Structure 1
Amino acid sequence: MAHDDTTSPGEPVLVSLSAPRRSLVAGLIRPLGSTPAGTRVVDIDIPDPRLAAALVEAAHADAGFVARTDSGPRALAVVAGTVAALCGEDIPTALSTPDLAFLTALKPAAIEATRTVLLGIETSDEQAVRAAVSVLES
């Protein structure tokens, strides 16, 4: 018995199997005083050795922290320092000279880990801080 199939096979459907890439800095900047009670807040305008120690502690803590600064360069430094603390890299160097190429090339898992530790950056100068960290947007 012959089978007469006049229907054509369906067209393939392209489906993305990967989650959208989370940004290292999208939604990171917050207005001063907006952090929920009970969340650890770190003033990052402290000397680098103290900040490096705080970042090591934060990288191994059960909960993340919110950085507080009005300095754009310091905000960029805390992002770099947080990544360095999580990767076992040189935190003082990351704080003083953020490696933009390295930071913008982070894999999704590293971005997720960073954002789990660095929950936000609180500031009264959102425009300056946002402008400084915008170099990390991909």
Structure 2
Amino acid sequence: MPHDSSHAPEPVALSLSVPPRPARRLAQDLVRPVSADPGVEVLDPGLDDEAVSEFLVRIVHGDSGFVLRTDSGERALAGIAATVAALIGDDIRAALTSPDLEFLTGLKPPAVEALREVLLAVETAAVADVTAALAVLGA
């Protein structure tokens, strides 16, 4: 039987894209024990608000991230809020004194990733306490 080669089969469309990563939550795997050398700058949020603000303005416009080091869950939350404020050009001092939990928990995945590229970790000797305090962020 002769073969009719005049009708080529239709091409099949294939998706070669990489499947998306599951979105990280704001504080997921953020808290860790204090390391001897984190390899990046360390922010002590116990500094006065002016010094913290100056640090954040400089670091969010740089090429490397930083580690926040505190044993206070409240100050860790304030540091996260202030870092977000620095990234979006909002009032850093206001974020330090009154973190907006509704705003923080409503951040979309790209904003969370932008934060996590700058704030690499919260280092603490009180891992359980700080992790518990950050649970309000949906960690």
- TM-score (norm. length: structure 2): 0.82
User: Secondary structure in 1 aligned to 2:71?
Assistant: coil
**1:136 paired residue number:** 137
**Aligned-pair CA distance for 1:19:** 3.6
Indicate the residue corresponding to 2:66 in structure 1.
65
Q: CA deviation at 1:35?
A: 4.8
Residue 34 of structure 1, CA deviation = 5.6
RMSD (Å) for aligned C-alpha atoms: 1.4
Q: Could you list the runs of 5+ residues in structure 2 that have no partner in the other structure?
A: 1-18
- Alpha-carbon contact 1:70-1:125 (below 8 Å) kept: yes
Instruction: Pick the structure with greater CA Rg.
Output: 2
**Which residue is 1:20 aligned to?**
22
How many residue pairs match? The answer is: 121
**Kept in 2: contact 1:81–1:92 (CA 8 A):** yes
2:32 aligned residue (30, 42, 56):
30
Runs of 4+ in structure 1 deviating by more than 4 angstroms, as ranges, are none
Contact 1:34 1:122 (8 Å CA) reproduced: no
Q: Which runs of 5+ in 1 are unaligned?
A: 1-16
Query: CA–CA distance in 2 between the matches of 1:109 and 1:43?
Result: 26
Q: How does 1:1-138 map to 2 (within 5 A)?
A: 18-33=20-35, 35-36=37-38, 38-137=39-138
Aligned counterparts of 2:36 and 2:118: Cα–Cα separation in 1: 17
- 8 Å Cα contact 1:44-1:67 kept in structure 2: yes
Matched residues, percent identical? 50
Query: Secondary structure of 1:73's partner?
Result: helix
